[in-house]
């Protein structure tokens, strides 16, 4: 009975070996107790099977102490993410020491990882760059804003030219990998009403920039709903240049972690967005009344609808309007809502860059110092009220204007 089972297992194993390659990563790593943790993870995640099914690959391994330190500081990695992280350490080409030494020294070499084959990697996140430097070899993520490079520490073993096992100094994490803070795109996807924001983030590659901040500095993201995008005049987003789209997307995030409780205590406080870090201006005014937080751009006013994610150093909120920076848009990009007050008798100015009239929120004045006194606070409440009235008047004016003009005219952008 037992020997029959053994024979069965043996023949199954044999057929596995025959149909796949000649190596077994588990057996290979069993000879090196200092990699036992990684070996165990490769098996339990099933990635060992993926490796064994391949030919001509390189497995980057880290020692037990490095892996333990990583798992201790990233305690909530789910099994899918952990498996993808391991796949990020499997290069789809054979690189022994000789091959590494033969790599060009004038430029890095980009290599595909097994992670790239999963379809879960954004853009180039599934590639690694190898640098052949006089000081040694460096391996690092191919996307800017990601974690740092690992150095090649040792040649562990190989079976030429099937599999090479190389020790590196640290775990490499793809952009967006941060268990503690969550993958923003994945979080957004779950809600179903942020599909346009997701696709614009990906199109502009700002998703990687946001992900990069999750591992350094922190971030507060404001995600407009699909209906917010649909309420824009058609073509207003599509007409943006690549770099302006990037700025628009980066305008939807603050450069630090600001949870709801903090935002709820802000009164017309101009805050920097990520766009402010690469271009002047692009400030956002945050104010709140009765726990409702509104964001004023000078062109549009959005209200926070829900918290989508909150874990230091990342927080993300759903908002009901697209944040249109005055640096890129005039009020004309907003389609006036059908229920408006009667049209007052006034003609808006011609196609001037800024929305006409004296609406206080249409012309962001010079930035005031953040420290606000009681009089500034009450003043700002009055200013907000005036701004609200003025902006609804303006919307009415714009509607009457829009009856004579085409969208294409209305969508003219204030700044190039
Ligand atoms: C590889 O080796 C391990 C133990 O050394 C074994 O459990 C596993 O079944 C082997 N895999 C294959 C595909 O032979
Ligand atoms: C360096 O290599 C990358 C890809 O491997 C390539 O895109 C880039 O143009 C190269 N740069 C130079 C200066 O050759
Ligand atoms: C990795 O090292 C290379 C070569 O020194 C460097 O150009 C690159 O910016 C480094 N990447 C990171 C993320 O530190
Ligand atoms: C790398 O390791 C393999 C297997 O142990 C060995 O045959 C080879 O000589 C080593 N290469 C170098 C450059 O150390
Ligand atoms: C933002 O707040 C500042 C200071 O309270 C104010 O001067 C400015 O007009 C506000 N801008 C907008 C667009 O609300
Ligand atoms: C607006 O577009 C329509 C057709 O799309 C055209 O007939 C009309 O003349 C245009 N009006 C203006 C003011 O450009």
Per-residue pLDDT reduced to its tens digit, 266-322 = 888 899 999 999 889 999 999 998 889 999 999 999 999 888 877 778 888 999 999
Q: Which atom of ligand 3 is nearest to the CA of 147?
A: 13
pLDDT at position 18:
43
pLDDT at position 69:
80
Of 168, 197, 224, the one marking the end of a domain is 168
DSSP sequence for 341-409: PPPPS----SS-SS-SS--GGGS--SPPPS---HHHHHHHHHHHHHHHHHHHHHHHHHHHHHTTS-HHH
| Pocket-testing residue among 158, 159, 162, 167, ligand 4, by greatest number of atoms within 8 A of Cβ | 158
Q: Do residues 250 and 153 share a domain?
A: no
pLDDT at position 353:
35
Long-range pairs for 131-138: beta carbons < 8 A, 24 or more residues apart = 132/100, 132/101, 132/103, 132/104, 132/105, 132/108, 133/105, 134/105, 137/100, 137/103
Q: In angstroms, rounded to a whole number, what is the distance separating the alpha carbons of residues 394 and 396?
A: 5
Q: Do residues 47 and 100 share a domain?
A: yes
CA of 174 to the centre of ligand 3 (A): 14
Residue nearest to atom 7 of ligand 5 (CA): 365
Q: Do residues 32 and 66 share a domain?
A: yes
Q: Do residues 201 and 109 share a domain?
A: no
Q: Do residues 208 and 326 share a domain?
A: yes
pLDDT at position 382:
44
Q: Which atom of ligand 6 is nearest to the CA of 406?
A: 1
Would you say residue 77 lies in a domain?
yes
Please say whether the beta carbons of 51 and 117 come within 8 A: no
pLDDT at position 326:
92
CA of 245 to the centre of ligand 3 (A): 27
| Token pair listed for 245 | 């789209």
pLDDT at position 79:
79
More confident site: 252 or 146: 252
Tell me the per-residue pLDDT of 104-115, one tens digit each, with 9 for 90 and over: 999 999 999 999
Asked if pLDDT for residue 71 goes beyond 50, the answer is: yes
**Structural domain harbouring 309:** 184-332
Would you say residue 348 lies in a domain?
no
Residue nearest to atom 13 of ligand 6 (CA): 405
Q: What is the mean pLDDT of residues 39-68?
A: 95
Of 310, 332, 354, the one marking the end of a domain is 332
| Token pair listed for 346 | 């006034």
Q: Do residues 163 and 198 share a domain?
A: no
DSSP sequence for 72-93: HH-TT--HHHHHHHHHTTEESS
pLDDT at position 144:
53
Q: Which ligand is nearest to the CA of 31?
A: 1
Phi/psi at 361 (nearest 5 deg)? Answer: -85, 0
Q: Do residues 231 and 134 share a domain?
A: no
Q: Could you give the strand order of the β-sheet that contains 127-133, starting from the edge strand earlier in sequence?
A: 90-91, 57-61, 163-168, 150-159, 136-141, 127-133, 109-112
Q: Do residues 23 and 90 share a domain?
A: yes
Q: In angstroms, rounded to a whole number, what is the distance separating the alpha carbons of residues 89 and 115?
A: 8
Q: Which ligand is nearest to the CA of 373?
A: 5
Q: Do residues 127 and 52 share a domain?
A: yes
Q: Do residues 220 and 287 share a domain?
A: yes
Predicted confidence band of residue 337 (pLDDT cuts 50, 70, 90): low
Would you say residue 387 lies in a domain?
no
CA of 131 to the centre of ligand 3 (A): 8
| Lowest mean per-residue pLDDT among 22-36, 141-155, 263-277, 384-398 | 384-398
| Token pair listed for 24 | 């077994």
| Lowest mean per-residue pLDDT among 185-194, 219-228, 274-283, 286-295 | 185-194
Q: Do residues 120 and 223 share a domain?
A: no
pLDDT at position 183:
81
| Token pair listed for 128 | 């690694």
Of 144, 168, 192, the one marking the end of a domain is 168
pLDDT at position 225:
95
Q: Which residues line ligand 2 (CB under 6 A)?
A: 107-110
Please say whether the beta carbons of 149 and 135 come within 8 A: no
Q: Do residues 115 and 158 share a domain?
A: yes
Q: Compute the residue count for the chain.
A: 416
Q: Of 129, 222, 108, 136, which Cα lies nearest the Cα of 174?
A: 129
pLDDT at position 78:
73
Asked if pLDDT for residue 19 goes beyond 70, the answer is: no
Q: How many domains does the chain have?
A: 2
Would you say residue 306 lies in a domain?
yes
Asked if pLDDT for residue 17 goes beyond 60, the answer is: no
Predicted confidence band of residue 381 (pLDDT cuts 50, 70, 90): very low
Q: In angstroms, rounded to a whole number, what is the distance separating the alpha carbons of residues 252 and 220?
A: 8
CA of 67 to the centre of ligand 5 (A): 49
Q: Which ligand is nearest to the CA of 124?
A: 2
Would you say residue 315 lies in a domain?
yes
Asked if pLDDT for residue 43 goes beyond 70, the answer is: yes
Tell me the per-residue pLDDT of 344-374, one tens digit each, with 9 for 90 and over: 434 333 333 333 333 333 333 333 333 333 3
């Amino acid at each position: 009975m037992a020997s029959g089972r053994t024979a069965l297992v043996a023949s199954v194993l044999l057929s596995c070996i025959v149909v796949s390659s000649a190596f077994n990563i588990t057996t290979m790593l069993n000879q090196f107790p200092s990699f036992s943790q990684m070996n165990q993870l490769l098996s339990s995640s099933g990635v060992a099977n993926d490796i064994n099914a391949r030919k001509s690959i390189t497995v980057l391994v880290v020692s037990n102490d490095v892996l333990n330190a990583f798992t201790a500081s990233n305690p909530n990695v789910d099994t899918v993410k952990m498996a993808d992280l391991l796949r990020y350490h499997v290069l789809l080409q054979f690189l022994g020491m000789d091959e590494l030494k033969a790599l060009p020294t004038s430029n890095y070499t980009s290599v595909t990882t097994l992670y790239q084959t999963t379809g879960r990697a954004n853009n180039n996140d599934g590639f690694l760059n190898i640098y052949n430097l006089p000081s040694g070899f460096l391996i690092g993520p191919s996307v800017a804003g990601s974690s740092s490079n690992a150095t090649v520490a040792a040649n562990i073993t190989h079976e030429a030219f099937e599999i090479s096992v190389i020790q590196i100094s640290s775990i490499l994490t793809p952009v967006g990998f941060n268990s503690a803070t969550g993958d923003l795109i994945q979080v957004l996807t779950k809600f179903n009403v942020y599909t346009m924001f997701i696709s614009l983030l990906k199109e502009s590659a700002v998703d990687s920039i946001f992900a990069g901040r999750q591992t350094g500095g922190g971030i507060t993201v404001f995600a407009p709903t699909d209906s917010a995008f649909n309420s824009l005049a058609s073509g207003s987003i599509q007409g943006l240049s690549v770099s302006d789209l990037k700025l628009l997307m980066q305008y939807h995030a603050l450069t630090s972690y600001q949870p709801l409780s903090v935002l709820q205590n802000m009164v017309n406080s101009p805050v920097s967005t990520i766009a402010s870090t690469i271009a002047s201006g692009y400030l956002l005014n945050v104010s709140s009344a009765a726990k409702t937080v509104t964001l004023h751009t000078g062109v549009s006013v959005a209200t926070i609808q829900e918290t989508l994610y909150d874990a230091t150093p990342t927080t993300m909120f759903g908002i009901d309007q697209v944040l249109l920076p005055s640096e890129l848009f005039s009020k004309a990009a907003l389609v006036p809502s059908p229920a408006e007050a009667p049209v007052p008798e006034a003609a808006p100015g011609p196609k001037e860059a800024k929305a006409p009239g004296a609406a206080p929120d249409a012309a962001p004045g010079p930035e005031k110092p953040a420290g606000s006194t009681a009089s500034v606070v009450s003043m700002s409440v009055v200013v907000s009220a005036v701004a609200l009235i003025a902006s609804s008047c303006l919307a009415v004016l714009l509607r009457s204007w829009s009856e004579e003009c085409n969208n294409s005219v209305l969508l003219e952008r204030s700044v190039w």
